[in-house]
Amino acid sequence: MSRGLTFWNDETIRLIRENFIAVSVPTWVAKAPGPEGEFLRQAGIDKRWVTSSGYMHCISASGKFLGGRPCDAVLEKFQGLPEAERKPGALSFGKLAATEQLIPAPPDGGLVLRVHARFLARDDKGQLRHAQTTDFPLMLAKANVLRSWNLFLQPNTEYMWLTRDELRALVPASPMKGQQLKVDPVIAMRMARFHLTPQRATTSEGGIIHPKRVKEARLMLKIESVTPQSILMKLEGRIHWGSDFDPTKATTPNGPLAQGFATPLDGRLEYDRKKKIFNRLDIVALGDTWGRWGDANGRSMYVERPGRSPFGFALELATGNNPTDRIPPGGNGRYVTDRGYFRK
């Protein structure tokens, strides 16, 4: 991991933001039949695995390979292309048929939530703050790790999907102030298994939580106010998956306690009764994680900490104004198509 992280310094990030459009392409898409796979194979992307060491391809909008990592030499090659390939809108591609789309789109009539995840810590007075590299014992003895992981501790964002029917079930037919509604357990389970998982959300090393590892996943709505224009609701709940916390076993590194995460859920929803849409859907999950943060080889990761460590999630309504709002959950369309994302 450290080789890839040393590349991600402020200078490189600024270069990419000012001159490139960053796209992450699943390897299986580059190898799949159809227009998308053909375009990527033309640029040779199917011959590369995007890994922690930072394998990349810089290509033009027409699919011409310009070089590996973003750099001035790649920009020079781009400037050498015909103007027709460099001007915005100079190239157009036909709309893909539904059967040709390899990456699924958000559910028709459904809703997209941005899921922000971040490492947290507590100050001397017990107040929450953003985590720093010096909060992680396994990093302290390695100056190069402290330097490279500083960027890694920044917040990460992905997306959660809800279907049209799931949204309709959140709105009572005859709402009354003080009324309480139990939310379909499938939504809480989806949050627990696919989204409120600190390791997968921040290091990409963790997988989907098996249903049998989920100890608690519940959501409840309470109506706070009702007008002809809107319904305001408060959301409460709790998620707990993995092990039960045992302070004698939550040691670092390579402690004997399996990973676990528990958090209360607190949210606010606002439904527009005229437009029949949600104007607001915010959820905060400030919980604790503990136990082993094993990497792909089973070794403790640098972000593993002894005892219970605070970790935060914040979910908010995506506006759809940004192309990234259409990224599938976990950045992987197969979560939806093959791994039971919507399964009851």
Q: For the chain, which residues make up each domain, given as ranges?
A: 2-91, 111-337
Q: What angle do CA 326, 320, 168 make, to 5 degrees?
A: 90
Which two three-digit tokens encode residue 277? 């849409």
Which two three-digit tokens encode residue 64? 């011409």
Cis before 253 (ω within 30): yes
pLDDT score recorded for residue 128: 95
pLDDT score recorded for residue 23: 80
Residues 184-218 as b or e (16 or more Cβ within 10 Å = b): eeebbbbbbbbbbbbbbbbbebbebbeeebbeebb
Q: Which residues pair with 299 in a beta bridge?
A: none
**What does the pLDDT profile of the chain (344 residues) look like in tens digits?**
344 445 667 788 888 889 888 887 777 888 888 888 888 888 887 776 655 555 678 888 878 888 888 888 999 999 999 887 887 766 677 788 888 888 888 999 999 999 999 999 999 999 999 999 999 999 988 888 887 788 778 889 999 999 999 999 999 989 999 999 999 999 999 999 999 999 988 887 778 999 999 999 999 999 999 999 999 999 999 999 999 999 999 999 999 999 999 999 999 999 999 999 999 999 999 999 999 998 877 788 999 999 999 999 999 999 887 888 989 998 878 888 888 899 87
24 to 40, 92, 109: CA distances (angstroms): 12, 21, 26
List strand residue ranges (DSSP E) for the chain, in order.
58-59, 65-67, 111-122, 128-130, 156-162, 180-182, 214-226, 230-242, 260-272, 277-290, 309-317
Task: Provide the greatest CA pair distance for the chain.
Answer: 66
**What does DSSP assign to residue 257?**
S
pLDDT score recorded for residue 49: 62
The Cα–Cα gap between 171 and 232 comes to 10
Helices (H), 122-213: 137-140, 143-152, 164-169, 185-190, 198-203
H/E stretch holding 19 reads helix 10-19
